[in-house]
Amino acid sequence: MEANNTKILIVDDEKDIIEFLEYNFKKEGYQVHSASNGLDGKEMAIKVNPDLIILDVMMPGMDGVELCKELRDIPELDNTIIIFLTARGEDYSQIAGFEVGADDYITKPIRPRVLIARVKALLKRKSKQAVIDNTIEVNSIVIDKDKRDVKIDDQSIHIPKIEFDLLVLLATTTGKIFTREEIYAKIWGNDVYVSDRTLDVHVRKLREKIGKDFIKTIKGVGYGFNE
């Protein structure tokens, strides 16, 4: 077991699940915190500022979807990875999770090796997102936020303001799926009405400039950026 400063918060109303997850994560060297309901989970998240949170969807009082939505409104937790853990595998449940800002979705029964591998992959993805001196590097793309410059394979590409801001938003957190509502709020602001068609056109134009394989579409949810 290696020393690890990574903090994981588990929020689940089943004591056995918490103990099971705590055992497996501690064995990997992670710092583990837990809460047995949504309200305590929110309080604990604010207190410890975890790197990753695992939420059960079906909890009494404040369920996982509601808790995730509230956590995503806390600026200090912007970069925290959130994974839903539930026995429910229906598409609508997964969509609800992504719509409120979840990064991944794992169904019970839990296979420890699969869960640990998934968590490590998400944490690795987070650490690879190099945002240094206002420069973002993802694969062959280099984005200079100060100069508002984009280079692909060292070739500069002109990208208009809205498309540039959209690229920065998606590329800063590769793998995360941003809902349309999140994109509207962050790019245009809450007071401006933007149609779905407008966003789709900007995404299409951005794909034409950087290549179609970087931006992924999750039907019924929104857009994300591939690694």
| pLDDT tens digits, one per residue of 119-142 | 988 887 766 554 455 788 888 899
pLDDT of residue 181 exceeding 80, the answer is yes
Taking the C-alpha atoms of residue 145 and residue 132, their distance in angstroms, rounded to an integer, is: 10
Taking the C-alpha atoms of residue 91 and residue 99, their distance in angstroms, rounded to an integer, is: 12
Cα maximum dimension of the chain: 54
- For the whole model, what pTM was predicted? 0.60
> Which distant-in-sequence residues (6+ apart) come within 8 Å of 207 by Cβ?
214, 215
pLDDT at 133: 56
Residue of higher predicted confidence among 91 and 136? 136
β-pair partners for 104: 83
pLDDT at 5: 86
Q: CA-CA distances (angstroms) from residue 107 to 50, 63, 86, 147, 188?
A: 22, 16, 5, 43, 35
> Which distant-in-sequence residues (6+ apart) come within 8 Å of 223 by Cβ?
170, 177, 178, 183, 203, 215, 216, 217
Q: Residue length, the chain?
A: 227
| pLDDT tens digits, one per residue of 5-29 | 899 999 999 999 999 999 999 999 9
For the chain, count helices (H), then strands (E): 8, 13
- Percent of the chain predicted with pLDDT > 70: 90
Which ranges of the chain does DSSP label H, i.e. alpha helix? Answer: 15-27, 38-48, 64-71, 91-99, 112-128, 161-172, 180-183, 196-210
Residue of higher predicted confidence among 46 and 1? 46
pLDDT at 1: 46
